[in-house]
Chains A and B, each alone.
Chain A
Amino acid sequence: MLDEKELIKNLNNPKTKDKAFRELVLLYQERLYWHIRKILISHEDTNDVLQNTFIKIHRGISNFNGNSKLFSWMYRIATNESLTFITKKSKQKNVSIDEYQITSGHSLQNDVLFDGDSIQQILQDAIQTLPYKQRVVFNMKYFENMKYTEISEILETSVGALKASYFHAVKKIKTYIDKH
């Protein structure tokens, strides 16, 4: 596996940029995909945002200053692109972001790319009721098993705040599942 410093060096070299970029996409496409998909739910929306994310990464790699890990930087772009997408879509439909998220969750019932059982549907519905940041924190901690320190680097939020956010998220989800 390519060393991160060498990968960044190759990405900033016009002669090796294309090859290095392809390697970068192959290396991180699945992880970024599933991060975005858990936020947006729809595969089509995820595909659009994932591609936009990589295009932004391609454009911005020369500005990457190495203060965080490359993956943390990419993850942050993906998270922000997802929020931008949701904000844009909710404005188009003239609803709040929260309302848009809840509607997205309900659409899973008819989604051919969802083969979860009823408890998984209820879980997704519950997650969609969370505020955006809480939802992202929950997905990263629960499904992606990331450490608080890793999440902190990506979301640029303190570990303490993340712990509190996760705690509230789990409580709300538990209450929702028990109710339904």
Chain B
Amino acid sequence: MNKEIKKLEKSLQKSGVTSAGFKTPKKYFDEFYDALNLKIAEDTFPDTTGLNVPQDYFNNLADSIVSKVERKDTSKKKTLIRILYTASSIAAALLLYISISINSDSQKINFESISEIDFENYISEGNMALDIYSLTEQIETIAMSDIFYDDISEQEATDYLNYVSTDFLLIDN
């Protein structure tokens, strides 16, 4: 039997089959020792963290998150409308100033010479249609970064508006 095996081995060697043909990745043996040490170290670590959650936490989490998201969406829309109304009021004042200064002949008009009454009369006479809904219809999306010029993150801006009293911005529709 041994003679036959040796015969077969010799014939394989003659045909040029001297290795299995397998290869290793580049630098495999250079990095092997470090990788092995790593595994040995990991072996001494516990498998789990020991951290737990309150009972039913994950059962209730989705509802909590979804309701928070809905609240923030509603609050963001209201804030946007208030900001737009304020901006349009400023635009109205500028228009009033410009129209008065164009129509005036001899007297030099400046912003201080427009009384509050002139301003109120201008709006109450319907010279400025302040329809919030048609104003907001034109705007598809406004990012907070388009309104705020300081380096404030969206989260900080929203948190500020949620926690600070913004009664002065309330408008009766």
Interface residues of A in 108-164 (CB under 8 A from B): 113-117, 119-121, 123-124, 142-143
Contact A143 B69 (CB under 8 A): no
30 A-B pairs (CB sep. < 8 Å): A18-B66, A22-B66, A25-B61, A25-B66, A29-B61, A29-B62, A33-B53, A34-B51, A41-B51, A43-B54, A43-B57, A50-B61, A55-B68, A55-B72, A113-B53, A113-B54, A114-B50, A114-B52, A116-B49, A117-B46, A117-B50, A119-B46, A120-B50, A123-B46, A123-B49, A142-B45, A166-B38, A167-B38, A173-B45, A174-B41
A18 to B73, CA, bound (A): 12
A167 to B58, CA, bound (A): 34
A26 within 8 A of B: yes
B75 CB, nearest partner CB in chain A, Å? 12
B113 within 8 A of A: no
B contacts, CB < 8 Å to A:
34, 38, 41-42, 44-46, 48-54, 57-58, 61-62, 64-66, 68-69, 72, 154-155
Q: Give the number of A-B contacts (CB < 8 Å).
A: 84
A contacts, CB < 8 Å to B:
18, 21-22, 25-26, 29-30, 33-34, 37-38, 41, 43, 50-52, 54-55, 58-59, 113-117, 119-121, 123-124, 142-143, 166-167, 170-171, 173-174, 177
